Chain A
Amino acid sequence: DVKVTQSSRYLVKRTGEKVFLECVQDMDHENMFWYRQDPGLGLRLIYFSYDVKMKEKGDIPEGYSVSREKKERFSLILESASTNQTSMYLCASSDRIGGYTFGSGTRLTVV
């Protein structure tokens, strides 16, 4: 089974902090994604990557950046955390045509 591992299940950070969310997949998938999920808004794409060092903005990239230095690892960076970034963050990976495998999610609270 493909495994997608997110480094933290719960995080509490202060406003203005730089936050790193890490995601690692073990099936050599080309594509990796970061979504956030909020009640009433569903899943929204923040950034995605289709190859090492390649990244593209999703629908809501403002306030976020990403890094993919190795194929298996895709990091989401909140440059200066704000309270409106309190959310569930979901990492996913996929091959070229298949559906996603999601990590277990990181519930981030910014206070």
Chain B
Amino acid sequence: QKEVEQNSGPLSVPEGAIASLNCTYSDRGSQSFFWYRQYSGKSPELIMSIYSNGDKEDGRFTAQLNKASQYVSLLIRDSQPSDSATYLCAVNRPDAGGTSYGKLTFGQGTILTVHP
């Protein structure tokens, strides 16, 4: 089982729709969860972080975390063509002693295309 799995995609949604991106993780000790956006040929850019169960909203983005189900998601409301990118889910990696030194494991990414 991969440590961090994302829905395979690619995901195509019409402009103005809600895009839903999903991620599951295997390490129950993980405490920090992040979503990155990566445009083609560019480096990843942090768009959301979430540390507690529930929802966290930032503009058109909502991150949802359920630690019991080991599930984190990203909703993008009113999707725009400029949202077309690869979205990476990242989860911190604690070692046996519980220290992570900030290490993250990334999912493979979901390609999102928003068409006009």
Contacts and interface: CB of A to CB of B under 8 A. Distances in A.
Given A99-B34, A102-B43, A42 B102 contact: no
Binding site of B, secondary structure by majority: helix, strand, loop or mixed?
loop
A44 B106 CA distance: 8
B103 interface: yes
A90 interface: yes
Interface string A24-41: 000000110100000010
Interface string A96-111: 1111111111000000
Residue from B34, B90, B101, B109 whose CB has the most chain A CB atoms within 10 Å? B101
Contacts of A101: 46
Contacts of A102: 43-45
A34 to B, nearest CB: 12
A43 B106 contact: yes
A56 B90 contact: no
Contacts of B74: none
Contacts, number: 55
A95 to B, nearest CB: 8
A43 to B, nearest CB: 4
B101 A99 contact: no
Interface in A57-110: 58, 90, 94-105
Contacts of B102: 30-31, 33, 48, 50, 94-98, 100
B49 A98 contact: yes
Nearest to B35: A99
B32 interface: yes
Given A42-B108, A97-B32, A48 B45 contact: no
Interface of B: 32, 34, 36, 42-46, 49, 51, 88, 90, 101-104, 106-109
8 contacts: A50-B101, A50-B102, A97-B102, A98-B49, A100-B46, A100-B104, A102-B45, A105-B43
